Structure 1
Amino acid sequence: MNSKEYDILSRLFMVFSFFALIYMLWPFMGIIALAVAVAYMTKPLYDILKPKFGRTYGAIICLLGIVIPSLLLVVLVAEDVVTFLLSLDIENIITKVTPILNDIGYLRVDGPDVSKPFSDIWSVSKPLLNSFASQISSIPSLLMKLLFLSFMTFYFLKDGDKLTDSFLIYVPDDKKRNTALFLSEIHKALKTLFIGNAVTSVIVGIISIIGYWLIGIPNPITLGALSGILNILPVVGGWTIYVPLTVYYLLTGEIAKGILLGLFGIIFLSLAPDFAIRPRVISKDGDLHPALVLIAFLIGPLVLGIPGLAIGPIIVATVYAIHKVRRLIEKKNN
């Protein structure tokens, strides 16, 4: 075997190994993407802890203090809420509540006029809830995924800055500069998207605490903190606290409180975070257009499910980085 034949075989072997690795990891791509998202959101804390405790212990403290408790809390609360919502007879509730609202003057519409749009919304939402419930109902599989997610987050925090250098080893010398620029722009975009998402959840938590306190909801601090943590999950997280509470107050006869809580939740905990707060926070910290933020955090989960919460922003960040690097190269050439 001569040198040329050896080079061809070695390259074929490298390509085969790469695609074999992708094939093996493909079922876990969603978990890996979520680990990337969690690592970016906890990186500000890790950067504070690293000088004092080192890489390893700083990452462990982030995991044990924030990541694992938050993940378990999100899963447990989401499972209870989804189970509760799936057990509801929405049409029956609307049929019972609408005459009461008409009698006391809140509405002046017929029952069918109210029930049809709610039924349409429910018919779209229920398959998503069923899919979500099926994913969190398998406890052994769920624990295995959470364990894998925790380990991947740990290594992304500890060694994430080494990934670029490891990747650039396989890039030709004449392409390294542009490739490094491309990877740097992806890193900046992901940092802006995911840290902005974490900041949004803090803002929503504060708004929730104030709103629940003003409305007179018991334990406003606890429920507000839960609302903030769950709002890290765009689309899914916004309604997980206020919707069950609204239904409870309506069914127990506290109509005014139920309607006030429902309106507050829809406006400030569902619509405002996804369409106003998150795009504004993220676009303020970087030059990402608000429309790209909406696509990243809304379209991704709707199309790809729970993994889309992380895959959507990663795809948007990659496309954005390609566009920005292209513009920088053209600007330099001109």
Structure 2
Amino acid sequence: MLVYKKYKKIINPILIIIVALIILALYIKIKTLNSIVNIIFIGFIFAYTLKPFRDGLSEKFKLNKRVASISIIIVIVFSFILLSYIIIPSILRESYNFGSILDNIDIYIKNIAKKMNLNDLSFFQGIYEQISEEANMFFAKISDNFLENLFLCFESLVSLAIIPIVTYYFLVDGDLIYNKLLLILPTEKRIIAKKVLNNLDKVLSRYIISQLLLSLIIGILTFIVLLILDVKFALILGIFNGILNIVPYFGPIIGGVPAIFIALMDSPNKALYTIIAVFLIQQIEGNILSPKITGDSTNMHPIIIIILLLVGEKLGGLIGMVIAVPIGVIVKVIYEDINDYLF
């Protein structure tokens, strides 16, 4: 006991690291624990994202937390069901025409090559055959795995049904959980912990709300433009582009590619107009909307954000890119607050 008291400051951090490593190992190895932790984590993220909207609803209509929370969750769940009802049948209908669409693209490329006298070049023929082979293998793999992935989605419905419940309890009892967790810390450490967490809450809330608002505007703009251009899947592509807009810099570029590809299936002219439209939307987003809405919510240099996005992509793909900037913001705020506290 005397040894522990003497080396308490060294032993405690080591014990925390060991416990954290054990929990991480269990999370990776045990599938059941992995699923439970994922559900709780997703529920927490949704609750944290929805918290400002719940507060706004409570203030505007004088509702308590429980009523405001359940109202928001019901609206989101019904919206998700409605979108699924609209989107899934249209995807299934168009999937039957996918082979003929690919054949049309193949004919279009061959006609261009013929006009430009590229057919006689062995170099072009080699590249064309390789690309065609890779494309056919890719789409064949998607077709083969489609039903399998569909069944996996149905198997995950139980988990999806639990997430709104977990989100509700985080929304309703989040403050209680927060206060209980603070009791774990020594009394003298709670002040700095509260300060750090309050600053994190302010910065992250501002960032999340601004990104969601920006994504909503871009999604609606994309949907309207694609509807005017008569591009198929305008609603799906608008939602897709809006969601990907959450990823700074790279999101709008990635989100515009499927729209251009689907427009190309109809005609080259439509694809050209779609490229112009997507480019204009990106310019509006980058030069007008983003500075006005997002402002300087992260207070990080663009180079730092790009590095975070690249690291996030390497570690976690698209999901890694989505959470890279918020994690960077968290680390930055914690560092600045602890630095102020210590020095």
Which TM class, normalised by the smaller chain length? 0.5 to 0.7
Q: Relative contact order (alpha carbons < 8 A, sep ≥ 6): 1 or 2 greater?
A: 1
Residues 305, 29 of structure 1: alpha-carbon distance in 2 compared, 3 angstrom cutoff:
farther
Within the candidate set 26, 34, 37, 2:42 is matched to 34
Taking every aligned residue pair, what percent have the same amino acid on both sides?
18
CA spacing shift, 1:129–1:114, aligned 2, 3 Å: same
> What residue number does 2:71 align with?
61
Measured after TM superposition, the shift of residue 89 of structure 1 is 10
The change in CA–CA distance for 1:306 and 1:121 in structure 2 (over 3 A counts) is same
Letter in 2 for 1:161: D
Q: Which residue of 2 aligns with 1:70?
A: 80
Residue number in structure 2 paired with 1:258: 271
Give the 3 Å change call, closer, same or farther, for CA 213–26 of structure 1 in structure 2: closer
Gap regions ≥5 residues in structure 2? 5-11
Aligned to 1:176: 190
Question: Which segment is superposed worse, 32-41 or 198-207?
Answer: 32-41
Partner of 1:166: 180
Q: Structure 1 residue 169: deviation in Å? A: 0.4
Structure 1 counterpart of 2:339, from 317, 327, 330: 327
Change (3 A) 1:28 1:192: farther
CA distance in 1, matches of 2:289, 2:142: 24
Mapping for residues 300-315 of structure 1, pairs under 5 Å: 300=312, 303-305=315-317, 308=320, 311-313=323-325, 315=327
Between the aligned partners of 1:174 and 1:146, the Cα distance in structure 2 is: 41
User: Rg: which structure is higher?
Assistant: 2
Q: 1:223 to 1:28 in 2, by over 3 A?
A: same
Question: Do the aligned residues in 2 keep the contact of 1:200 with 1:277 (CA within 8 Å)?
Answer: yes
| Cα pair 1:206 1:224 within 8 Å, conserved | no
Residues 251 and 310 (structure 1), Cα distance of their counterparts in 2 relative to 1, 3 Å cut: closer
Q: Is the 8 A contact 1:223 1:241 kept in 2?
A: no
Selected match of 2:52 from 44, 52, 55: 44
CA distance in 1, matches of 2:39, 2:146: 15
CA-atom RMSD in angstroms: 5.3
Deviation of 1:35 (Å): 2.8
Question: With structure 2 as the length reference, what TM-score do the two structures score?
Answer: 0.64
Query: What one-letter code is carried by the residue in structure 1 that aligns with 2:159?
Result: K
Q: Distance in 1 between matches of 2:133 and 2:292?
A: 32
Structure 2 residue 330 is the aligned partner of structure 1 residue 318: yes
Letter of the 1:63 partner, please give it.
I
- Secondary structure in 1 matching 2:184: coil
CA distance in 2, matches of 1:72, 1:44: 24
CA contact (8 A) 1:201 1:229 kept: yes
| DSSP 3-state at the match of 1:138 | helix
Residues in 1 aligned to 2:47 and 2:192: alpha-carbon distance in whole angstroms: 25
Does the Cα contact within 8 Å between 1:38 and 1:67 map onto a contact in 2?
no
Residue number among 218, 221, 233 corresponding to 1:207 in the alignment: 221
Q: How does 1:1-334 map to 2 (within 5 A)?
A: 23=27, 25-51=33-59, 52-67=62-77, 69-70=79-80, 73=83, 77=87, 84=95, 95-101=106-112, 137-217=151-231, 222=235, 226-227=239-240, 230-231=243-244, 234=247, 243=258, 246-252=260-266, 254-262=267-275, 264-265=277-278, 267=279, 281-291=293-303, 293-294=305-306, 299-300=311-312, 303-305=315-317, 308=320, 311-313=323-325, 315-329=327-341, 333=343
Deviations 1:62-91 (A, max 9, x none): 011125523773798489769959x77999
The runs of 5 or more residues in structure 1 that have no matched partner are: 5-10
Q: Secondary structure at the match of 2:185?
A: coil
1:317: how far off? 3.6
